[in-house]
Amino acid sequence: MDLVINKTSLNGMIDIPSDKSISHRSIMFGAIAHGTTTIKNFLRGDDCLSTLKAFQDLGVEIEDDGEVITVYGTGFSGLKQAKQAIDVGNSGTTIRLIMGILAGTSFSTELFGDHSIAKRPMNRVMLPINQMGAECTGHDGTEFPPITVKGTENLQPIQYQMPVASAQVKSAILFAALQAQGKSVIVEKEKTRDHTEDMIRQFGGEISVSEKEISITGPQKLVGQEVIVPGDISSAAFFLTAGLIVPDSQITLNNVGLNPTRTGIIDVIQQMGGTLTIQETGSEANKAGTLTVETSNLKGVEISGEIIPRLIDELPIIALLATQAEGTTIIRDAEELKVKETNRIDAVATELTKMGANIEPTDDGLIIHGKTPLYAAKVTSYGDHRIGMMLQIAALLVKDGTVELEKAEAISVSYPRFFHDLNNLY
């Protein structure tokens, strides 16, 4: 058990860690492009390092001087068979997206990860990839890792109606479609984060998006680029929440990525009455900004429908935010939370209830009754980085006693400097 940090107010400025989604994809696109890609402000968290190592295992030369990562792209056809099974660690993004890239190879690859990855469903990627002509199989005939991908150099295009709103599934299909012989069409259930579409264009590819329909014709050749990774709004979410609910606080967050498919939490904060100011600093192609929050009186809201994919990773910390809002907050249409690093619906409800929150899990979300004081307890992250960070922010509201957090080390998956940055606020 680790004793969590306790502070009575939070003031100061933080440089948020680099965007996890873009960091993953920068390595992937750099590897499958022709020529050199340089990546600045890469997130050196465990998950993204799993992606970097996976492509080194596939024969891609990648250098890291501590400041800039240089990827010497091989194109799709230059990837080489790994000498052994590839370990994706705790990273669902790595295993799912790389399946789409491996679909067009001429060899077989085995992918495995930690105990959490071994429980995560892969049929959502395996089924469309298999329809395109590759052979993806799970452990003992199941849909669970280890996954073996036997690629084919004759991938066929696909017309695919997405059964789930998932940027990971969409991205895997797009990577396969870049290698397929003809036009693929993907129709999303709801619009999800579009970093993959943006980076296809950035690396010289062609893709057409109209509302929820995405069209892409393969095969395509991509060309190496410079990528400057903005700060991750999913990591910023924890300090946005802390600044809103910890008394006498004001926190400024620099260089936060503001891609519109990721800013659902900003919409929710504004609906709840939070004091939040945004100073835009990025470009049209790379939206970013400086965000400042202050302690606020919040009110409960309903969160459901098309906004859910725009804040799916932020829902655990939004649930904590709701415990400090007057009235009831209802989260619906978020069944995808059940198949993250842990079942986040159950984990959030169980651990915040231990601390005194009035929170009910449902089949597709949570009902949170506020405003409630929180108390000291022994809690666990379940090995899930976002649950761990949420519980540390919750502990800041505890006035008496100590909160002990089990498996706090999971936080390094996406935010290695989390405790350091929190300590530096005053």
Amino acid sitting at position 99? M
Distance CA 133, CA 213 (A): 22
Q: Which of 313, 363, 384, 421 is catalytic?
A: 313
Cα–Cα distances (Å) from 115 to 125, 341, 354, 384, 426, in that order, read 19, 10, 25, 12, 38
- Please say whether the beta carbons of 102 and 81 come within 8 A: no
Distance CA 34, CA 39 (A): 15
Is residue 313 part of the annotated active site? The answer reads yes
Dihedral (C-alpha) 206, 210, 212, 216: value to the nearest 10 degrees? -20
Distance CA 174, CA 218 (A): 10
Residue with tokens 């129709």: 187
155 — phi, psi (to 5°)?
-65, 140
Left if phi > 0, otherwise alpha if psi is -120 to 50, otherwise beta: which for 165?
beta
| Beta strand 86-87 pairing with 108-112 | parallel
Question: What amino acid positions are annotated as catalytic residues?
Answer: 313
